[in-house]
A and B are shown apart, each in its own frame.
Chain A
Amino acid sequence: MTSLPIELRQVEKHFGATRALAGIDLHVKPGEVFGMIGPNGSGKTTTIRVLLGLHRPEAGSVSVFGSDPWSEFSHIGPRLGVMLDDPGLHGALTATEHLEFFGGLLGLSRRGARRRARELLVAVGLTGRERSRLKTYSKGMQQRVALARCLLGEPQLLVLDEPFDGVDAETRRVIQRLLPGLATERGVATLVTSHNHHEIERMCDRIAIIHQGRIVACGETAVLLRSNSGRDVLVIELSERVPSTEASNVFPGCLYDEAKGVLRMDLQACGMTREQVLKKILDRRLSFNRIEEERQSLEDVYFSVTERDRTSC
């Protein structure tokens, strides 16, 4: 086993007859923001709980910084920042007291924990509310406290389970601002799960799609979006307007916006390759401003991949 922040090999976990994880292979490198998406019950949270040593897998190997989280978590814990789907706060305490308590668990001195708590509450935008009890906080504010808590010990690996769940735009921005900075400046690795595909697409260097306990697609965000969309769509912006009849004669099956002079071609639907399209453009001496492949959203890729997996099963 190497000392990668996260390395899972063929991990399996059952709950009775239910197979929660069916051979998960996954690794996260230092400084990488790794996203994991999948439908409810697909195994995202179970994967996280396995990583935190809260579930023992029946098969496969799990390594966090080269140690087994089930048996050696005391070595791993101080290097980790964890934000679970439930913020898990002590409602009777104030934000500062809660962070001081966790600072104590991490072995920080009382003064050190207090100073760090103050810094982090400023960083997550909770200045002025630090003396209010946590039970009076909104869901978004509680998520911010949980985020501050997971940054308390200056972690080398962040594990965030649904951090965007029920948060407002401001909290989302706080998360978006903090995480990439930690990855690039301090080499913090991040594993984040979410149903918010847009945020995952924006933040993550690599993404895995998990379905029925298996990773059905995984790769760098741009590559994943290109290779798993299930469709190749070319968008051509012509510099000279052509009548729509001519456009449909040359490129049967394409969508043409005559007013803008934009052709949109689904290559599979049109039964053409990229080369054939380019050849036709050159043969017809059509001048154009741009030709580009239409980028599919993560949402499209997600549906395409999970649907494919469902059909193959």
Chain B
Amino acid sequence: MAKQKKAQWPWHLLTGVILLGLAGSLWFAASLISYEWHWNRLPQYFAYQAEVQQRADDYGQVAALTAHGALTEVTLRSSAAVEQLLTVDSDSLQLAVGDDVAEGDVLGVTRHWAAGPLVWGLLTTLWISLAAGALALVIGLLTGLCRLSSNPTLRDLSTVYVELVRGTPLLVQIFIFYFFIGTVLNLSREFAGVAALALFTGAYVAEIVRAGVQSVVKGQAEAARSLGLNGLQAMRYVVLPQAFKRVLPALAGQFISLVKDTSLVSVIAITELTKSGREAITTSFSTFEIWFCVAALYLLINLPLSQIARRLERRLAQSD
């Protein structure tokens, strides 16, 4: 090639400038409205110091207090001369030696770090995505192959499934699953939510699988069959690996969609990331901060996901 490759970096620089400009104008617009930003309220929704109250078991007296740094050991002696040992944080201690205590009195608290609602929400979103994604892959693969089957019943059934699921909104499907199927079959809300998401995504995966298999030329299956492989073996070793390589970008897109779609199961009171965010807003009143934060957490899942897909794609491209 005689044409010299032009440097790319000025254009990337321009991209940076444009993004900074957009962020700046957003910043300026935000400063015009009367909203008090309180980013400092956010960390407590990730992790906080949980307090556990330490209570007396019986009526009695404080026999001794022994300080061990920030902790104090309290020795209680009941009227029946039974001793109870308790450890509390020193600064929360509300008693002196000789004080009378009644059964159930709070002597002080101990504190430990606990994960906040946003972390729990993120974990819930993750496991729902993983469970629904794995199920959707199985459902999609089977349905996709049924769509290509020579058996008319399998073909019909899979077509009905795909069309029903693609033609109705996911939100409605989640309601139907929870309120109707969930009631009839006595399903938990988590089960109903995961099942609805898996069936929804499975229908799209089925179409991706079908397109992928159809894109592999007929000669590949014929060559495999001519070597004595049966239909399933030819599919597994020859056709599907090639199909998978081609549909990987579409599949990755579908799973990224799935992660975002899990936000809809908040409507059946599953406390995943979006619902955790809504609950955090009711106690913090920091609406803007929380929503930005929730968006960032979804990105935290999805950006690595597309990165992995890109890497896999590059690895599979070796044989091209």
To the question of whether A and B form a pair in one complex, the answer is: no
Which B residues are within 8 Å of any A CB, using their own CB?
Answer: none
